[in-house]
Amino acid sequence: MTWRLELGARPTGEGTLFRVWTPLAETVAVKLLGDAPQTVSMGRGEEDIFEAFVPGVGAGADYFYLLDGERERPDPVSRSQLAGVHGPSRVVDPDEFKWTDEG
């Protein structure tokens, strides 16, 4: 069995699944930056986990979560924050990393 991070951005090859736990927000969207910026609403699921699948988005895409239509926040479980902890998060595909040892 392979362990997998259940929250955050998870690329699938066909797009990216974004999941975030935020119990105090009424609405959440993922705001994608870059050449083709877009904002995609996320649905609220069980235990206040919001999620959205965005086709065509993969590793290297930068994004924020947009809380209640006004507050931009980085992903609290982001694997990459190139501009620091307050900057945008970046989608990373952990399967692209080539391990060079057994441990």
Does residue 80 contact residue 65 with C-beta atoms inside 8 Å? Answer: no
pLDDT above 70 (res 64): yes
Does residue 65 contact residue 20 with C-beta atoms inside 8 Å? Answer: yes
Ramachandran bin of 96, using left for φ above 0, alpha for ψ from -120 to 50, beta for the remaining angles: alpha
Q: What is the pLDDT of residues 3-53, one digit of tens each?
A: 667 899 999 989 999 999 999 999 999 999 988 899 999 999 999 999 999
Does residue 53 contact residue 14 with C-beta atoms inside 8 Å? Answer: no
Number of other CB atoms surrounding residue 82 within 10 Å: 10
Tokens at residue 32, please?
A: 């994608």
Confidence of residue 102 (pLDDT cuts 50, 70, 90): confident
**Whole-structure pTM value:** 0.88
Average pLDDT of the residues in 80-98: 87
